[in-house]
Structure 1
Amino acid sequence: YQGGLYPGGSNVRPAAHTAAGLARGRAIVPVDARGAPDPNGKYGLVTIGVSITAGETKALIPVAEAHPEKDPHLVIVNGASAMADAEQVADPTNDYWPALDGFVADAGLSPRQVRLVWIKTTIGSPSTQTLPQNPQELRGYLVEILHTLMEHFPRLSVAYVSTRTYAGYSTTKLNPEPFAYWTGFAVKWLVEGQLNGDPALNFDPARGPVKAPWLSWGPYFWADGLNPRSDGLIWRCEDFHPDGTHVSPLGRAKNVDALMAFFMTDTTAVPWFIDDEAPQRRGWSPA
Structure 2
Amino acid sequence: MIINVRRSLAMLAAFVAVTVVGMPAAVAAGPLPINDLGSGTYLGFQGGLYPAGRNTMPEAHRTAGVNRALRVRPVDTTGQPSADGRYVLLSIGMSNTTQEFCSAETGGQCAPYSLIGQAAADPQVNHDKLAIVDGAAGGQTAGTWDSPTDANYDRVRDTRLAPLGLTERQVQIAWVKVANANPSVSLPAANADAYQLVTQQGAVLRALKKRYPNLQQVFFSSRIYGGYATTSLNPEPYAYETGFGVKWVIQAQITQMAGGGTDPRAGNLDYDGTAAWAAWGPYLWANGLQPRSDGLTWARSDFGSDGTHPATSGRQKVADMLLRFFKTSPHTACWFTVSGTCA
- TM-score past 0.5 threshold: yes
Is 1:200 the counterpart of 2:244? The answer is no
Question: Once the two structures are superposed, what CA deviation does each residue of 1:213-245 show, in whole Å capped at 9, x if it has no partner?
Answer: 000000000000010000000000100001100
Shift of 1:116: 0.5
Tell me the SS of whatever aligns to 2:274. coil
Read off the aligned partner of 1:42 and give its amino acid letter. R
Is 1:180 the counterpart of 2:239? The answer is yes
Tell me the SS of whatever aligns to 2:162. helix
Following superposition of structure 1 onto structure 2, how do residues 6-17 of structure 1 map, counting pairs within 5 Å? 6-17=50-61
- On the 8 A contact 1:264/1:274 being kept in 2, the answer is yes
Cα 1:100–1:131, aligned 2, differ >3 Å: closer, same or farther? farther
Match for residue 88 of structure 2? 44
CA distance in 1, matches of 2:181, 2:335: 33
Between stretches 191-200 and 251-260, larger displacement belongs to 191-200
Between the two proteins, the alignment pairs up a number of residues equal to: 273
Tell me the SS of whatever aligns to 1:48. strand
Structure 2 counterpart of 1:78, from 134, 138, 162: 134
Is 1:265 the counterpart of 2:309? The answer is no
Question: Once the two structures are superposed, what CA deviation does each residue of 1:42-87 show, in whole Å capped at 9, x if it has no partner?
Answer: 0001100100101111121121011111112110110101131002
Gaps in structure 1 of 5+ consecutive residues: 205-209, 282-287
Read off the aligned partner of 1:53 and give its amino acid letter. T
Tell me the SS of whatever aligns to 2:131. strand
Larger Rg computed on CA atoms = 2
Aligned CA-pair RMSD: 1.5
TM-score by length of 1: 0.91
TM-score by length of 2: 0.77
CA distance in 1, matches of 2:194, 2:47: 14
CA distance in 2, matches of 1:148, 1:60: 24
Read off the aligned partner of 1:22 and give its amino acid letter. V
- On the 8 A contact 2:187/2:241 being kept in 1, the answer is no
Structure 2 counterpart of 1:35, from 74, 79, 83: 79
- On the 8 A contact 1:112/1:153 being kept in 2, the answer is yes
Match for residue 89 of structure 1? 145
Is 1:211 the counterpart of 2:268? The answer is no
CA distance in 2, matches of 1:88, 1:42: 27
Match for residue 119 of structure 1? 176
Gaps in structure 2 of 5+ consecutive residues: 1-44, 103-113, 257-261
Shift of 1:131: 2.8
| Identity level (%) | 41
4+ residue runs over 4 A deviation: none
